[in-house]
Amino acid sequence: MTYQRLIVERRGPVGWIINNRPERLNAYDLLMRQEFRRAWAELDADTSVRVIVHTGNGRAFQVGTDVEELDEGTAEQFGETMSSLDLGLTAWHCNVGKPVITAVNGVCAGGGLHWVADADIVIASADATFVDPHVSIGQVSALETIALMRKMPAEAVLRMALVGSHERLTAQRAHQLGMISQVVDPPEKLRDVAQELAEKIAQNSPAAMRATKRALWGALEYGLTDACREGAKHLTSMWGHPDQDEGPRAFADKRSPQWLPLEPDS
């Protein structure tokens, strides 16, 4: 597939989605939104890809919607997708079953926080900053910050949402608050660190990781008892899968396991 707003690559078992609109700080327009749907689907369906990394080119990771390019027609389309929650931007929006790492380089603002909230793992360069300017331009901060409240203290999210463009979180502060799990210093090592982390994850059973991801993300939708009941279903879904025999056998033989490729999502 060809892309104009994104770069889609494979590096061994790792698929990469790279925001490639640096002259607009990687702000997304309608075309980029459409390309995200295709890119996530392409890499999720590729059996040679076990982990997906998402990052950006230039001095910003993502700054949200390109408001300067919104005309009446595209604004109406944006509004329809928001109202129906059919955004199609992130791996979570697109029901991606593989592990996803967001690697934040530079500025992450507004709608860029979608990918921070919706990734399985988030790392950031030491010079990355996070800001939510919605209320400072008369807009409502809702979807991104609601999602962030699943992983950060509520007051920290409220402060970011209500202070708006008048305060930025550093990568170090974001790490303290649980928004990200690692700060990469020096910043130019971000992609190397992301690739190394992804390759560690890629050594595991693809089928077991998909079931684990479904169980853990699903737990956010339920109370404790219902979450455990649903988790048990995902756990038992792996019973009888060849990977469950291969793992212990490889451990006993002191060799790397030979996992089955991930079958298309049912």
Q: Confidence class of residue 114 from pLDDT cuts 50, 70 and 90? A: very high
**pLDDT tens digits for 170-208?**
999 999 999 999 999 999 999 999 999 999 999 999 999
Which residues lie closer than 8 Å to 60 by C-beta, 6 or more apart? Answer: 22, 25, 26, 105, 106, 107, 108, 109, 112
- Residue matched to tokens 């982390």: 197
Q: Confidence class of residue 263 from pLDDT cuts 50, 70 and 90? A: confident
Where would I find the beta strands (DSSP E) of 132-261?
169-170, 182-184
Q: Is the pLDDT of residue 12 over 80?
A: yes
Nearest Cα to Cα of residue 174 among 116, 119, 217, 133: 116
* Domain residue spans of the chain: 6-202, 206-253
Q: Are the C-beta atoms of residues 207 and 262 closer than 8 Å to each other?
A: yes
CA 227 to each of CA 59, 154, 237: distance values in angstroms, whole numbers, following the listed order? 40, 22, 15
**pLDDT tens digits for 124-160?**
999 999 999 999 988 899 999 999 999 999 999 999 9
* Confidence (pLDDT) at 207: 95
Residue 193 three-state SS: helix
* Distance of alpha carbon 59 from alpha carbon 232, whole angstroms: 44
Give me the mean pLDDT over the 212-239 stretch. Answer: 86
Q: What is the CATH number of domain 6-202?
A: 3.90.226.10
Nearest Cα to Cα of residue 54 among 1, 95, 85, 99: 99
* Confidence (pLDDT) at 168: 97
* Distance of alpha carbon 32 from alpha carbon 39, whole angstroms: 10
**Mean pLDDT of the residues in the chain:** 92
Report the 10 Å Cβ neighbour count for 192: 10
Task: Find out whether the peptide bond into 186 is cis, omega within 30 degrees of 0.
Answer: yes
* Confidence (pLDDT) at 199: 98
**pLDDT tens digits for 65-85?**
887 776 555 566 666 666 667
The token pair that represents 186 in the structure block: 């020096």
